Chain A
Amino acid sequence: MDAKRWIQLTVNGEEHEVYVEPRRRLLDVLREDLGLTGTKEGCGTGDCGACTVILDGRLVNACLVFAISANGKSVETVEGLATDHLHPIQEAFIQHGGLQCGICTPGFLMSAKHLLNSNPNPTLDEVRFGLAGNLCRCTGYTKIYEAVLAAAKNMREET
């Protein structure tokens, strides 16, 4: 086992210093060291997208990122979405029935946020493409598309 190292992470705007073994993943550090269990593990192999977070503006599967390789970087997780009120994407998922069991939802929310950051007015096909890395087994996806399109509209109207 390699020696532990100190790394510095900015998570949802807050700075953290964490002492980690090199074999531990960003997902482990978020969930175990920082207690941010909103990011879920569905497969551990980057297939399901349940652990999707935004790392320095890029969408990543936190199960495929070693924590030490995120040293000095900025992470956005589901816990950072709501401020004093719910984010419009969260609100739309609730209102449109865009979730059932909820285990994939944090990953979908982060993918949706990333999509709408770069494309505030997506077509249905752009939404489907933007969410293609996230698996949902409950909803059949329809109500998720509806939620993301509704959130996009609300966000455009707000700004």
Chain B
Amino acid sequence: MSEHWLLGKRVPRPDAIPKVTGEAVYTDDITFPGMLYGAVVRSPYACASIRSVDTSRAEQLPGVRAILTPTNSSLFSTEILYAGQKVAALAATDPHTAQEAASLIQVEYQRHRAVFDPIRAMSRDAPVVRPSRSQEFNNVCSHQRKERGDLETGFAQADIIVENTYRVGIAHQAYMEPHACVARFDVSGKLTVWTSIQGQFNVRASLASMLGMPVHDVRVIAPEIGGAFGGKTSLIMEPIAVVLAKITGAPVKIVMSRQEEFIDAHPGPGCIIHVKTAARQDGTLTAEWAEIIYDTGAAPGAPTGNFDRTRGLYRIPNFRYDIYSVYTHKLIPGAYRAPGALELTFAFESQIDHLAGELGQDPIEFRLKNAVDEGDLTVDGKVYPTIGLRESLHQAREQIKAVEHKPHRGIGVACGKWMNAIGASGVILTLNEDGSVNLTSGAVDLTGVNTVLAQIVAEELSISLDQIHVQTRDTDVAPYAALSGGSRTTYGMSLATQNAVRQLKKDLFEFASQHMPVSPEAFTVADGKVVPRDGSHTGIPIRELARIAMYSARGPLTVTGSASDPSWLADSYIFITQVAEVEVDPDTGEITVLRVSSFQDVGFALNPMLVEGQIEGGIVQGLGWGYLEGLVFDKGVVLNENLTEYKIPTALDAPELVPVLIEIPSADGPYGIKGVGEPSMVVTPAVLANAIHDATGIRLTETPLVQDDLSTRQGPLGNM
């Protein structure tokens, strides 16, 4: 990709400057005179009916302005389906008073029998959380089946069958900024909401629909966002803040505490995967069967729709996968960075490793023997284009060769797949009178998208990067943008920007042809000038054309650009191989992750520093889910609802990271890019489990991969 002068360069993020000075404004930094603070009362029980709510003591507390309960607000129900469910809310003049008032609200509950384990919930005598969509089982929220070939034949052809049950725990995105929002109605009745969210337009649509207001009467502003990872895609506190603001006539802010984050946000789901995988002695896979049971808690939320997006790495002629999501009396899961991919990859890539071991084959050679290629079919029967799976395995093989083997150390390998979305994307490009460019976007910048959009505009116009000003603006100003998620943002917004800047060039060339004896098609841009390709004229600087246009009959040069795709997913296949090196203490079982190398097909890295940042961050999140993290419940109540007891990786846990970028261009992506926001964490728990097995001979099948299962030294009482 050497034809680019600025794309592919390690450009620092312009938004880093206000972030290092403390000037960047996040939602909780916003205050208004007379602003009230909201607080929420939550159920301590997982399954109950509310008999009564007594607000009399809270009402008497000075500073309390409004109280919402199931009696006076449809936001709250008298039927409790999980511990932590919101029961009542209030607004008061300061956060302390609000918390104090919340503690004074007395709720009387009638408790009912509850069910917490999804397999137990499926039995016919289990308590019903919600009506089942299955004749056969209780509490089934959804079921789908993927199949091909004939399972019996496939298993009959096999020389070896490996069967295991894997369990993946519920893990929180643990973004460092808790959810926050501020709602304010102006005198005319227009609503403005500031909120920490991945998609402004989704919030606008949801609130407008809830309030019966037209969308143009709802303005949603997303200030800087302090991490999200899928956890800030749906409304959580906004409706409550809006109703409190409506009743009181004052702006209302609600900030979730870290405890509330753990008990009532939408973490990555728990999942149980029972799987049988079969192969011939020569290493050819013949069949696979799996039953996948997602714990979707008290309402639909488990990401069951991404099977084809993340599986289909190997040629398996006969398969059947049944994917269930099942209601339990627990909190409601949601999207967490590549939703649905990590848990499936953990199970299926552990199986591949297990089979390779049983057959005495090298795990990389075993994968290469069965890996899909161009022309093979995905699980859903689509045909693969050119893909990077083999290349990533080849590069991983070279890496492994260089690793020195030592006692108590292990090396693991695993592969993964993901596909990025596109999503509705619009931008406005305005050429200023000094030749600088404003780009207005409605997409929330999570990953540095605004930096790469600036690179694209500068590249295409051949003007310097500091002349490009990209801003995320709110729903009143910016064109529509789908939420920033699904690894879509840079892909979709770059397509829109590419369309816009090419239109701007077309307009510039047409205008330039009025000032040079050259036809519009014969122009190009070079060094900030519009010049004829044949060199017949020295050209005119873009800034000069911008100024002339503004004060001529032409008027300002302003264009829009759009992109979308009705199928949501792009034809963009991202494959990754990771290699992990671990050391396991034979006495304590303590795991030290020494190094994780990641060989990921990124299509084309518009900004390698930002792409590496996505990969490194994803790996460490994947490590967290793999061996440190998981919500612990007692009767549906989260016990580890703080960052002391729910351990995310610290600087001492993070290993050496080696992100290797493989560039196999996507067919339709702008400049050949593929999504990079999510895929990196998909593989990590699997590769960690495989490395632990290599070090200890013990195959862990449950996350977090707990260390006291791993002591291999024989003690006086046997294998301790």
**Chain A residues engaging chain B, CB cutoff 8 angstroms:** 21, 23-24, 31-32, 36-45, 47-48, 50, 77-79, 81-82, 86, 90, 93-97, 99-106, 109, 127-129, 131-132, 134-145
Q: In the docked arrangement, what's the CA distance between A39 and B178, Å?
A: 14
| CB–CB B13/A137 < 8 A | no
Q: Give the Cβ gap from B495 to chain A, nearest Cβ, in Å.
A: 23
Given contacts A101-B225, A137-B227, contact A40 B177 (CB under 8 A): yes
Contact, CB under 8 Å: B13 / A94: yes
In the complex the two chains form, is B651's CB within 8 Å of A132's CB?
A: yes
Contact indicator A93/B654 (Cβ below 8 Å)? no
Contact of A102 among B10, B24, B447, B651 (CB under 8 A): B24
Further 8 A-B residue pairs, CB within 8 A, beyond A104-B226, A143-B616 = A40-B226, A42-B177, A86-B20, A94-B17, A97-B612, A131-B651, A137-B227, A139-B613
* 10 A–B contacts, CB within 8 A, in A order: A21-B96, A40-B28, A42-B176, A45-B258, A79-B22, A99-B19, A100-B447, A142-B654, A143-B612, A143-B613
Residues of B within 8 A of A48 (CB): 176, 258, 643
Which of B388-396, B402-410, B617-625 contacts its partner? B617-625
CB-defined contacts of A138 to chain B, threshold 8 Å: 227, 613, 617
The digit string for B630-651, where 1 denotes a CB below 8 A from any CB of A, is 0000000000001110001111
Closest to B448 in A: A100
- Chain B residues near A (Cβ < 8 Å): 10, 12-13, 15-17, 19-26, 28-29, 31, 96, 173-178, 224-229, 255, 257-258, 446-448, 609-610, 612-613, 616-621, 642-644, 648-652, 654, 656-657
Chain B's closest residue to A92 (CB) is B20
**Chain B residues in 8 Å Cβ range of A37:** 22, 25-26, 28-29
Q: How far is the CA of A61 from the CA of B304 in the complex (A)?
A: 41
Interchain nearest-CB distance for A153 vs B (Å): 18
Complex contacts, A94 vs chain B, CB 8 Å: 12-13, 16-17, 20
- Nearest CB in chain B: distance from A15 CB, A: 20
**Contacts of A100 on B, CB cut-off 8 Å?**
227, 446-448, 613, 617
Task: Please determine whether B642 and A43 come into contact, CB atoms closer than 8 angstroms.
Answer: yes
CB pair A109 B12 closer than 8 Å: no
Closest Cβ of chain A to B254, distance in Å, is 14
How distant is B247 from chain A, measured CB to nearest CB, in Å?
24
In Å, the complex CA distance between A144 and B447 comes to: 16
- Tell me the smallest distance from the CB of B517 to a CB of chain A, in Å: 46
Among B23, B24, B225, B652, the residue within 8 A (CB) of A129 is B652
Q: Are A102 and B224 in contact (CB under 8 A)?
A: yes
Q: Are A45 and B26 interface neighbours, CB within 8 A?
A: no
Are B226 and A103 in contact (CB-based, < 8 A)?
yes
Which chain A residue has the least Cβ–Cβ distance from B623? A140
Give the shortest distance, in Å, between A154 (CB) and chain B (any CB).
15
With a cutoff of 8 Å between Cβ atoms, the chain B residues found around residue A131 in the complex are 651
Specify the main secondary structure of chain A where it touches its partner.
loop
Check B22–A36 contact: CB distance below 8 A.
yes
A23 to B28, CA, bound (A): 20
Complex Cα–Cα for A47 and B644 (A): 6
Return the chain B residue nearest A47 by Cβ: B643
Contact of B20 among A40, A99, A135 (CB under 8 A): A99
Tell whether, in the assembled complex, residue A139 and residue B616 are in contact, meaning their CB atoms are under 8 Å apart.
yes
Beta-carbon contact of B96 and A101 below 8 Å? no
Question: Chain A residues near B176 (CB, 8 Å)?
Answer: 40, 42, 48, 50, 101, 103-104, 135-137
- How far, in angstroms, from A39 to B29 measured CA to CA in the complex? 10
| A70→B16 CA distance, assembly (Å) | 31
Is the beta-carbon distance between A137 and B17 smaller than 8 angstroms?
no
CB closest chain-B residue, reference A100:
B613
Identify the closest chain A residue to B680 (Cβ). A140
Which residues of chain A are within 8 angstroms of B617 by Cβ–Cβ distance?
100, 137-140
Minimum CB–CB distance from A36 to chain B (whole Å) comes to 7
Q: Which residues of chain A are near B652, meaning CB under 8 Å?
A: 128-129, 132
- The distance from the CB of B497 to the nearest CB of chain A, in whole angstroms, is 21
- Taking the closest CB of chain B, its distance from the CB of A48, in whole angstroms, is 6
Closest 8 CB pairs of A and B: A38-B22, A103-B226, A102-B19, A140-B616, A47-B643, A140-B620, A37-B29, A78-B22
A142 touches B657 (CB 8 A): yes
Q: How far is the CA of A50 from the CA of B447 in the complex (A)?
A: 20
Kindly identify which residue among A90, A135, A145 contacts B643, using a CB–CB cutoff of 8 Å. Answer: A135
**Alpha-carbon gap, A92 to B612, bound state (A):** 17
Chain A nearest CB from B229 CB (Å) reads 7
| Distance in Å: Cβ of A94 to nearest Cβ of chain B | 4
* Residues A97 and B13 in contact in the complex (CB < 8 Å), given A137-B175, A137-B621, A138-B613: yes
* Chain B residues in 8 Å Cβ range of A101: 175-177, 224-228, 446
Q: In the complex, are the beta carbons of A93 and B225 less than 8 A apart?
A: no
Which residues of chain A are near B649, meaning CB under 8 Å?
Answer: 141
